[in-house]
Amino acid sequence: MDIGIVFSLVFIVGVVYALTRMVRIVPQGEEWVVERLGKYSTTLLPGLHLLVPFIDIVAYKIVTKELIQQTREQEVITKDNAVVIISAVVFYRVSEPSKASYSISDFESAVGNMTTTTLRAVIGGMTLNESLSQRDQIKAQVAAKIRDSLSGWGLTLGNLEVQDIRPSEKLQEAMERQAAADRQREATIMIADGEKKAAIAKAEGQKEAAILEAQGRLEASKLEAQAKVELANGDKKSMIIVSEGLAGGETAPHYLLAQRYIDSVQNLSNSGNSKVVFMPSDWQQSLAGAVGSLGYLGTALSEK
């Protein structure tokens, strides 16, 4: 092969290679860090750029889109010696590619470790109840602590979210046992309260029954007193009649005695246990006197 042809081919290949090293197109969402003779030179933004072949080289290609860093789950001891498991997600972007390239060797790993360490420190200053209920406060404290460190690495913190925070398995079992004991205690208290209320209701019922019974006895006593008054009034009227009869003669007393005698004999004869009727020895004379009195009384009434 002719030496000229070989030389031409080598020259063409060198030119093509030089052009590929000189003309660079940076895609959107990236920024390239260029070194000249081993030293930082410039940062290429998205678009077309020309470099000096063999002198300028692209040392780092940095993605400027928002990055997501998820921390691993870790066990953290709280202020009151409880164990919780926590993890978080960090959203950030590279704002200064040169600083991110030269200030730290691996900023992605640094972000994850920094977030994990800060989470451990924040949770360690809280109690179990605070760590489980104050998720927003944990987020704010961790973000405030890592923002300055990320800024020193040429990174900008977008957002930080506490992905998961929960008690450890052993702690969950202990909490469940405690909750069961609390429910049992509440049930016992409710049963005791129910029995107490039932006893109070029973006592009140007995009290009301006693009051009603006393009121019934009072009403009965009043009625009995009224009956006695009525009976006394009847006796009074009878005594008046008897007195009038005595004043007018012996007819009225004889009539009353005969009437009482007849009523007593009648009651005695109506009794189921009565087998013998006792008659006075002078029953004939008494009856005759009663009959005579009745006749006299009837004559007196007819005259009136």
The number of angstroms, rounded, from the C-alpha of 141 to the middle of its chain's C-alpha atoms is 31
pLDDT surpassing 90 at residue 226: no
Interval 15-37 mean pLDDT: 85
The token duo for 297 is 């009384």
pLDDT surpassing 60 at residue 102: yes
DSSP state of 126: S
8 A C-beta contact, residue 110 and residue 99? no
CATH class of 67-167: alpha beta
Of 208, 204, 300, 203, nearest to 255 by C-alpha is 300
Backbone angles phi, psi at 61, to 5 degrees: -110, 105
CA atoms of 133 and 183, how far apart (whole Å): 22
DSSP state of 45: P
**SS3 (DSSP) at 89:** strand
Q: What share of the chain is helix, strand, coil (3-state, %, to 5)?
A: 60, 20, 15
**SS3 (DSSP) at 108:** helix
pLDDT surpassing 90 at residue 10: no
Non-local CB neighbours of 238 within 8 Å, separated by 6+ positions: 256
Tens digit of pLDDT for each residue in 36-86? 988 999 999 999 988 888 888 899 999 999 999 988 888 888 888 888 889
pLDDT surpassing 50 at residue 300: no
DSSP one-letter string for 254-292: HHHHHHHHHHHHHHHHH-TT-------TTHHHHHHHHHH
Neighbours of 183 (CB within 10 A): 10
**Highest mean pLDDT: which of 19-33, 171-185, 197-211?**
19-33
CA atoms of 97 and 107, how far apart (whole Å): 11
8 A C-beta contact, residue 285 and residue 261? no
204 confidence band (pLDDT: 50, 70, 90): confident
For the chain, domain boundaries: 3-63, 67-167, 249-270+282-304
The pLDDT, as a whole number, for residue 153 is: 92
CA atoms of 86 and 109, how far apart (whole Å): 18
Tens digit of pLDDT for each residue in 113-167? 999 999 999 998 888 888 888 888 999 999 999 998 899 999 999 999 998 888 8
